[in-house]
Amino acid sequence: MDLTNFRFDIDTDGIALLTWDMPKRSMNVITEDVMSELHRVIDKVAIDAHVKGCVVTSGKESFSGGADLNMLQALGHDYARMVTEDGEEKAMQAFFDGSRKLSVLFRKLETSGKPWAAAINGLCLGGAFELALACHYRVMSDGEKVRVGLPEVKVGIFPGAGGTQRVPRLMPTGDALQMLFKGEQIKPALAKSMGLVHEVVPQTDLVERAKAWIRNGGKGIAPWDEKGFKPPSGKVFSPVGMMTWPPANAIYRRETQDNYPGAKAILHAVYEGLQLPIDLGLKIESQHFAKVLRSREAAAMIRSLFISMGELNKGARRPKDVPPTILKKIGVLGAGFMGAGIGYVIANAGLDVVLIDQTQEAADKGKALSHKLMTEQVSKGRAKTADRDALLARITATPDYEALKGCDLVIEAVFEDRTVKAEATRKVQAVLGPDAIFASNTSTLPITSLAEAWDKPENFVGVHFFSPVQKMPLVEIIKGAKTGDRAVAVAMDLVRVLKKTPILVNDARGFYANRCVFAYLLEGHKMLLEGVPPAMIENAGKQAGMPVGPLSLTDEVAIDLCRKILHATRADLGEGAVDPGQMDLLDTMVTTQNRLGRKNGKGFYDYPETGQKRLWPGLADLQPNKLDADAIDVGDLKKRFLVSQSIAAAQAMAEEIVTDPREADVGSIVGFGFAPFTGGTLSYIDGMGVGQFALLCDDLSKKFGSRFDPPGIVLDLAREHETFYGRFGAKPLLARLDS
């Protein structure tokens, strides 16, 4: 057969081996060409009497990451074109047919009459795992990095090529729903215990064991095509079903606040599909899939969390003319919580780390965080003792700056004070010289002023990690007024090694992420002072799509740190730069009540040694007025949270702090959890229409104050009937049926 993306061989036993190995790609992905070739292979296997069955495997380190989501974007664009050229009915039918091509292909394989076995190595995710689920037998390698899963819900869609129909026919409904909702990657042993795969074997035996199943009489019929098949949990309308579906719906509501059409479609597709034969179930799934694809939420999430994030992770904003740096040794100044966390993630990426602090005791305490984090991994079975020992061996904890010799980059994470930072900076320069690349992890102080302590400011850059470093995926790379391309490139090379997502921002107070975060916190504090019940504030924040309420987030950041930042802002920019009510509230919390946040167990919440945190009852005494909860418009509260942050993002674009909408959106989601279903701060504006956003700002401004006045850039875009993505040259959203 003439194939480009596969190799097809038949052994002497008549067992075909289909090896997926796309040229010029590091990982296989499902494309139109791949689907076309797979159609031909299925026909060959089904028709050729000499072929007893087929094993499908990968010629690469991983099986496949799934479908190329750019195909889904193309469907939307084709739909928009066809509406104009052929009318809505034909366009709708073409969209539906296109959206279920993969589902139809996999069902063709499943019902081809010959046995198919999947031999899974490396990652097998999304549409690729749906391919494996359509095979009649699945053998999985036992490697450390081997995983299967259906992560589509994380980018706003859901498994639409049979995942919502086959998984609930393999395992109890509750377990299936949990797997589909979480979208997690599943290890081999767990995949076998869940019934997702039949065997877990060494990599060397993978293909042979899959072939052996066919050789020994494996049947080419799926369980659900056998007469008398019953799902593991039985009928939907049964005692077991009634114990499953009401709590499943409640959990969905609690976890998503009904903001995610893809997650809701999972409930519908599983619930409806389990009441029907598999073919009708697959068609139901396809109907929901096509509907979700046309939603604004899916379009925005695919663009930001798949396409844009992928581009940024691959270096879309890295200076092109600077050759890559091979990083081996990194210095970290300051072994406090932030510096110790930075040291851990660097060592975890396989690089050597020199962790510096004022005393050996302080440096050792910082290194101890790495020991603690690795011990937790060992206890959970995610790492071995030898892995912990190897990581700790890569960290040199010392007060001696001479140990920094040979470092490719030094990151300063000392106390947030200009004088302290300048002293540490000069000590490094005395050892390495000004030609070395130096980075500051400051979260608030302008990079341009900090760079004055380095003789060649072109080699000074900001690298702002978020806390806790080991969990937070975003890193802001900050260009000072004189920062050069080489410094930016080296910083981005490090971020890529750490497998985090970089955004490039220009120097300004608070940079990008913290500007938006503080807009969110300010709104929560003002609501509290207005008399909104604290629990209502927190719930409205989560209903709006934020991961935690603003009062809880203030505690996590630390109330005294927030207060310090406000005082520094007022000192530098004047009284008008801060909200006096917020300042008084934080002053009271810190100086009068000694409530600093989670770190001292007392903040807007109380943090008992045992049991869950709870809102501090004393908050009622800090409210000059108390509003009747029934009279408060929760919709307004939710809008205030999202609009305030989006205004801050729009202003950051206007001031050229952020210059690429992709970075504004991706940074807002992965940096501070801005409602992912919107696609990010700027997609939130573009998604509703810039003109509509301006009207919403006007409405909120009249009700709650001039901070909601629409920024000039928003008014300008509205007048010109433009969008942020349109003006700044980024990709438009998928065309939608409801647009």
pLDDT tens digits for 380-435?
988 999 999 999 999 999 999 999 999 999 999 998 888 999 999 999 999 999 99
Could you tell me which residues come within 8 angstroms of residue 182 by beta carbon, excluding any fewer than 6 positions away?
Answer: 153
In this prediction, residues 209-226 reach a mean pLDDT of 97
Taking the CA of residue 243 as centre, how many other CA atoms within 13 Å lie in the half-sphere pointing to its CB?
A: 7
CA 668, 672, 676, 678 dihedral sign is negative
When pLDDT is cut at 50, 70 and 90, the band that residue 737 belongs to is very low
Is pLDDT above 50 for 692? yes
pLDDT tens digits for 379-388?
998 899 999 9
Nearest to 185 by CA among 220, 156, 243, 144: 144
Could you tell me which residues come within 8 angstroms of residue 532 by beta carbon, excluding any fewer than 6 positions away?
Answer: 627, 629, 632, 637
Is pLDDT above 90 for 78? no
pLDDT for position 509:
86
Q: How far is CA 405 from CA 353, 429, 461, 511, in A?
A: 12, 11, 19, 31
Q: Is 500 helix (H, G, I), strand (E, B) or coil?
A: coil
The residues that are catalytic are 130, 152
In this prediction, residues 556-571 reach a mean pLDDT of 91
∠ CA 82-88-89, nearest 5°, is 110
When pLDDT is cut at 50, 70 and 90, the band that residue 730 belongs to is low
Residue with token string 């050996």: 360
Is pLDDT above 90 for 185? yes
Cβ atoms of 545 and 677 within 8 Å: the answer is yes
pLDDT for position 335:
96
- Report the chain's terminal Cα–Cα distance, integer Å: 44
Q: Do 329-509 and 514-727 fold alike per CATH?
A: no
Residue with token string 């919107």: 678
CA 532/CA 585 separation, integer angstroms: 15
In this prediction, residues 463-475 reach a mean pLDDT of 94
Architecture of domain 6-294: Alpha-Beta Complex (3.90)
Q: Is 111 helix (H, G, I), strand (E, B) or coil?
A: coil
Architecture of domain 514-727: Orthogonal Bundle (1.10)
pLDDT tens digits for 474-505?
999 999 999 999 999 999 999 999 999 999 99
**Cβ atoms within 10 Å, residue 690:** 27
pLDDT tens digits for 224-282?
999 999 999 999 999 998 899 999 999 999 999 999 999 999 999 999 999 999 999 99
When pLDDT is cut at 50, 70 and 90, the band that residue 738 belongs to is very low
Could you tell me which residues come within 8 angstroms of residue 68 by beta carbon, excluding any fewer than 6 positions away?
Answer: 29, 30, 31
Q: Is 140 helix (H, G, I), strand (E, B) or coil?
A: strand
CA 305/CA 153 separation, integer angstroms: 11
Q: Does domain 329-509 have CATH number 3.40.50.720?
A: yes
Cβ atoms of 333 and 497 within 8 Å: the answer is no
Domain assignments of the chain as residue spans, ordered by start: 6-294, 329-509, 514-727
Output the six-digit token pair for 30: 């499902």
Nearest to 124 by CA among 103, 154, 108, 145: 145
pLDDT tens digits for 442-457?
887 899 999 999 999 9
